[in-house]
Structures are given as C-alpha cells and as structure tokens.
Amino acid sequence: MGLLFAMIRCRGGIEVGVTKKQRPFLSRTIRQAFEVKKVALPWNRALSAGLCIGLPSLIGFWLGQFQYGMLAGTGGFAYLYVASEPYALRAQKVLLAALGLTFSVAAGTLLASYPLLAAFVLGCLGAAATYLFGVLKFKGPGALFFVLSFTLATGMPPDPSQAFSRGGLVFLGGMLAWCFAMAGWLIRPHGPEIGAVRQLYLDLGAMMDVAGTREYSRARHQTLLSMYSAETALATGGHNRHGDETPRRLSRMYSLAHHIYLLTDKIPLADGERLPPELSAAVRRAGESCGQPDTWKKAPLPDDPDPQILDLMDLVAQLDAIVCSSASDGEQGRKLTRIPVRSILAGNLDKDSIVFLQAIRFGVILMVAAAAAYAFQLNRSYWVPLSCASVMLGATVIATFHRAIQRSLGTIFGILIASAILWTRPEGFVVSIAIILFTFFTELFIVRNYALAMLFITPNALLMAETNTRIHNFGYFAGARLTDVLVGSVIGLIGVLLVGSRSASSRIPYLLGRTIRSQAQFLALLFIRQPAGAAAEQSAQQRSMRRHLSNLRTVYQTALGEIPRSEEELEKLLPVIWSLDQFGYVLNSYALSAIRPVLPDVELGVVLLHLEKMAQSAEQRREIEKGPEGPDGLELPLVPDIGQELADLRHALNGR
C-alpha cells in the first residue's frame, strides 16, 4: 500500500519510493486516518438506524420467516440517507433510496447467473447513483448501499423467479425506514428549516463581530454558505399546514438576514474600527429564538450610533417585529424558488463537470473490481466490489487512501469480533439484536472515525450475509472476507491514483475562466433594457452561473486532496473562490429586484471587457494588465457595489 501511495506523478516522470521530502507528508497522512473527530454523537439517528435495519429480522423471527425478515432489513438502509433536509425533500429522498435498493436486489437476483453482465450493470448502477446524489447534493453514503444490495443479491442462491418477491421485501423494509425518517414531522414539522435559519443568524452575528478585521473575509464566506443552505431549506420546505405562521416568519427572517448581510458588507470600516457589539448580539439572539419566539427578549440598541451604521441599526431593530409576529398580514418574505431537477441533471452532463467525471470513474473502476473478482474466482467475491466502492467514497485521493487504511485495519479487528460471535452459532433473536446493536454503534461512531466504525460494520455485514449460509468454518469465511477487502481496497486505490490523481487541479484555471464568463453573461442580462415581463431570476444565464460556481467549489475541494498538490498555489486561489461566490450572490440579489438600473452601452461594454480580461488572466495564470479603468477597478455610479466586487475580484486574482 505504501508503494502505491508513493508512486506519484511528477513533472519529470514517475517517482517510485518515498523520498525524504515525502516522508513527513506520508506520515501525516497516515496519522490523519486515525484521528478521532470531536463532534457530537448522533444518538437519535443511531437508534433509529439500528431499529430500521434490525427490526424487520426480529419481526420475521416472530412470524417464523427469519430469512424474509433479514432480506427486508436490507431496505432499512434507506434510513442512512437521511440528513438535515426539510421533511418534504426527505420524503422524496428516502423513497428514492428505497426504490433504488429494491431495484438493486431485484436486478442482482436476475443477473446472479451472468457474472460479466452483472459486473457491467453494477458499474452502471454505481455511476448513476453517484451522479444523481452528487448533482443534487444529497448528503449520505452515495452509491454504497445500492452496491451492497446488488452484490448481496448476486451472492444468494440463483433463482430469477425470486426477483419480484425479494424486491418486494426490500421495499417493505424501505417503507419502514421512511416512517422512521418522517416521524419527526409530527412533532416539529419545520425543524430542519428552523435549524438552517438559526445557523444563518449565528454565522451572521459572528461575521458582524469580526467586521473590520482580517477574519472578516472568512466569516463572510461562511455566512454566504449558510445563506445558500437556508435558501435551499426554505425553498424545499414543501406545503405548509393551515394557520402555521412558522414558514412565513422564517422567510421574513431570511429576507432580513439577506439585507443585513449586504449592508454590513458595504460599510467601510477603518483598521481597528468595529461595529457596535449590541448589533451582533441581537442578531445571534434572533437566531436562537427563531424556533421559539416566546424566548425572544428585546435588548436596547446604541442610542447614538455612527451615521454610517444607522441603516444597519434600523434593519436589526426589525427583528423584534419579525421574531414575535404571529399575525397573518404584513410583509411577506422573499419568494424562494428551486431550479428544476431536470435542468440540474441535464446541465451537469458536461466533460468539465467534476461530478460527472467522478461518476464515470466510480462506475468503471467498480466494473473492473467485479470482473476481477469473478475472473480470479474469489470466495464470496461480492465483497471485492463492495470494498472498492467503500474506498472510492473518499471525495479526494487522500480521503481514498484514508478509507483504504481504515477499512483494511478495521476489517481485521472486525473479523475477530465476528468470529467470536459466530463461534456461538447464534440464531434468530440473538442475530436480530446483534444487528440492531452493531448498526447503532456504527452510526454512533462513524462521525468520529471510519476505522472505529469498521469494528462494527464488519461483524454486522458478516452476520447479515453469512448467517443463512450455515457455514461455521471460521477460517474459511474470515480468510475470504479479509482477502476480498484487501483486493477491493487496492483496486479502488489504484484506480483513483491512475485516473484522478491530478484531474481537478488541472481544470481549475479553465473553470475559473468559464465561471467569470458565465457571470459576465448574467450581468449583461441584468443591466440591459429588458422587455416588460422579462425575469432574470431562474433564467438560463443565472442557472449557468450557479452551475459553474458549484462545479468550481467542488473541483477546488477535490484538488485539496490530490497527490501531489501545490498547497501554496491552492491557498492563493481561496480568496478568488470566495470573491466569485460573493460576486455571484450580489448578482443574484439584483435579479430579485423588478427595478434595476440600465447601464449605458459604454459602461456595460467596459464592465464586460474588464471581466473578459479577468477570465483570460485566470486561464493563463497571470496578473491582469492595467487598462483605462485604472488600478482600483471601475467607477460605476449606478451600481457602485458591482464596481467594488470587481475590484475585489481583480485584487484576489492578482494576489494568486
């Protein structure tokens, strides 16, 4: 494994071995694989996941159909795709996952007797799931459990006539998971939206605290990301119950946060000058009270504020009326709309879409792993593609290497635990309880460290896959399992190193240029004279800009984990990414306004020329040449904030 990691492409060719310069990096990377993250343990999620996966087998045991119950438990994996999304979106997402698991089991049953065709279909299934979840930005284990369901079905006794019944049992288990996933709606139907708005206000307060300091740029970008998250949560919140004022209150709070954010960013603060702390404190209190308006306590604002922050104080003062409002009249919040799913899926079918390329890579390597397992006639060969898929879930090459180490070592110790359990030849009730407990501890500790979770994943998987085979030769199944995991991990790691070791970094300059040009097209649409009824929001130009920004962020995050990588160059690019995000947000804000200034042709032409120069500078990795607009950007009296954003972007590009 160390040799694989050390075979790194360099400018002069391929270096084999670990040089002195690479040793600290390799040592640090290995240590990072075993770091335990200090995050809160998800007790509720862990318990629900354990019940979703283990309860069907327990019901099957009581009804005298234990094997059916075990198969239905496979559908419980749908619960593992639950995140913090609104319940309207969660209902669709978990249903989609349940249908995907059902299809995987049915297809695996039909193709069990045709290994090469099964390998091809498995690759297509993995690629499709990876693309779908990546493009829609669904949090969760991606294609992993679809691969697991398909491969387990191919390992069952071949019987194509059982495809419908097996798929039906899995679907029933998926519907049980759907009920668990939606149970919170009965108690707190707007909990995810409240959480998103609350986080937005906490980040907004933190941004206001550091305004005028060096930390402001980072805090502003974090607030911008929270703004996007809150917008998505509110837009996907679904229909509201009659008489429920919470959605309207949250929408108004989001709109006010939008105005506070933009106004705070416009206030010029000298070095050492800060905003009154009462303003940020009021914003944070509003976030903490957005789900519980009864806890809101109005606090006095500064009596004699500086004139330049008077408008900001007026906005903050509106929080009292919004948080405590329960009347149905008054100002409605900003109308939020979603980009059509069809447009998102079609728009990312592009050779420069990192999600599309990752999906293709995932599918091809998965096919190779499945075909190799069949060609070498490995025992329990379905563990090979499963291990390969698990390793490739790492978002970057370094994350993939971490996964390979964690899965290999975790499997070794997990097999020891499984051997101790299977040595007692457990039956029915004991197996069901063990599955519940192992799933519970897996979900509890996977947020801390994947290797730690593998101590529970391995015995759990072995219980689910091997119990019904009645094989009690521990050396047989332990050796086969360990061999398959190592082979699958190595195939996944080699595939990622060969196919994607430098693919992201090489695309960043080109994608920077495309992103800037898409913003130029959207800007031109915004500030030319439009016919009556024309809308810039949800236009093709806006969707294109959003898609390019999202793709650029994904590529940048991927490049951070490549081998080798220029950390200095990537650090210089970070302000550019932040500046493009901020510029895009300002343009989106203008799109919401029905009345926008119309720039004269001369000014608009100068702005577009300015953006084209920046696009070429980004692509060619050089500083922007000085033009007639001057070193500090453009003077645009009608849209001064656009001029300021362009100046910031130019400064970021020249500072690379």
Residue the block writes with tokens 């390799």: 26
Give the mean pLDDT of 395-422: 66
DSSP of 52-65: HHHHHHHHHHHTT-
Beta bridge partners of 10: 13
Angle value at C-alpha 171, between 489 and 384, nearest 5 degrees: 15
H-run or E-run covering 67: helix 66-75
Residue 357 pLDDT level (bands cut at 50, 70, 90): confident
**pLDDT(215) > 70:** yes
Q: Averaged over 239-257, what is the pLDDT?
A: 78
- Which of 229-238, 256-265, 482-491 has the least mean pLDDT? 482-491
CB atoms within 10 A of CB 82: 23
| Least confident window among 247-251, 274-278, 633-637 | 633-637
Convert the pLDDT of each residue in 270-325 to its tens digit: 777 888 888 889 899 888 888 777 777 777 777 767 777 888 888 888 888 787 76
pLDDT-derived band of residue 532, with 50, 70 and 90 as boundaries?
Answer: low
Q: What pLDDT score does 555 carry?
A: 79
E strand or H helix at 13: strand 13-15
Closest CA to 193 of 230, 222, 228: 230
Helix (H) or strand (E) holding 9: strand 8-10
pLDDT of residue 199: 94
Rg over alpha carbons for the chain, rounded to the nearest Å, is 27
State which H helix or E strand residue 262 sits in.
Answer: helix 246-266
Is the pLDDT at 117 greater than 90? The verdict is yes
pLDDT, position 118: 92
Residues forming beta bridges with residue 330, ordered by sequence position: none
Contacts of 67 (CB under 8 A, 6+ apart): 60, 468
Q: Are 463 and 420 in contact (CB under 8 A)?
A: no
Buried residues in 370-389 as b, exposed as e (16+ CB within 10 A) = bbbbbeeebebbbbbbbbbb
Bridge partner residues of 13 (DSSP)? 10
DSSP per position, 411-432: HHHHHHHHHHHHTT---HHHHH
The confidence score (pLDDT) of residue 76 equals 93
Mean pLDDT of 31-53: 83
Tens of pLDDT, residue by residue over 137-186, are 887 788 888 988 998 888 888 889 999 999 999 999 999 999 999 999 99
> Residue 488 in contact with residue 391, Cβ under 8 Å?
yes
Separation of alpha carbons 477 and 472, rounded Å: 8
What is each CA distance from 497 to 30, 126, 143, 144, 367, in whole angstroms?
17, 19, 20, 20, 17
Q: Specify the amino acid at residue 92.
A: Q
Question: Is residue 16 scored above 50 in pLDDT?
Answer: no
Whole-number pLDDT of residue 202: 94
**For residues 493 and 174, which has the higher predicted lDDT (pLDDT)?**
174
Split at pLDDT 50, 70, 90, the class of 401 is: low
Cα 623 from Cα 627, distance rounded (Å):
12
Query: According to the model, what pLDDT value does residue 183 have?
Result: 93
Residue 559 in contact with residue 508, Cβ under 8 Å?
yes
Instruction: Tell me the backbone φ, ψ of residue 213, rounded to 5 degrees.
Output: -115, 175
Q: What is the DSSP string of 137-178?
A: T--S-TTHHHHHHHHHHHTSPP-GGGHHHHHHHHHHHHHHHH
Mention every residue, 6+ apart, whose C-beta is less than 8 A from residue 63. Answer: 69
In terms of DSSP H, where are the helices of 267-340? 277-289, 310-317, 319-323
- Residue ranges of alpha helices (H) inside 290-328 are 310-317, 319-323
What is the percent of the chain with per-residue pLDDT over 90, rounded to a whole number? 24
Closest CA to 92 of 132, 45, 147: 132
pLDDT score of 105: 94
The per-residue pLDDT for 340 is 73
Quickly state the pLDDT bin for 517 (edges 50, 70, 90). very high
Calpha distance 391→6 (Å, rounded):
18
Comparing 507 with 3, the larger pLDDT belongs to 507
Residues 602 and 583: their CA atoms lie apart, in Å, by 21
In this prediction, residue 270 carries a pLDDT of 74
**Token couple for 507:** 């695309």
Beta-carbon contacts of 297 under 8 Å, excluding residues fewer than 6 positions away, are: 285
- pLDDT confidence tier of residue 330, bands split at 50, 70 and 90: very low
Cα distance between residue 631 and residue 271, in whole Å: 22
pLDDT value, residue 4:
43
* pLDDT greater than 90 at residue 245: no
Higher-pLDDT residue of 523 and 557 is 523
Q: According to the model, what pLDDT value does residue 630 have?
A: 47
For the chain, the average pLDDT equals 80
Instruction: Retrieve residue 342's tokens.
Output: 């069809």
Residue-level pLDDT at 329: 44
Question: Which residues sit opposite 15 in a β-bridge?
Answer: 8
Where does residue 24 rank: exposed (0-12), middle (13-18), buried (19+ CB within 10 A)?
Answer: exposed
pLDDT band at 90 (very low <50, low <70, confident <90, very high): very high
> Is the confidence at residue 649, as pLDDT, over 80?
yes
With beta carbons less than 8 A apart as the criterion, state whether 9 and 502 touch.
yes
Q: Residue 99: what pLDDT?
A: 96
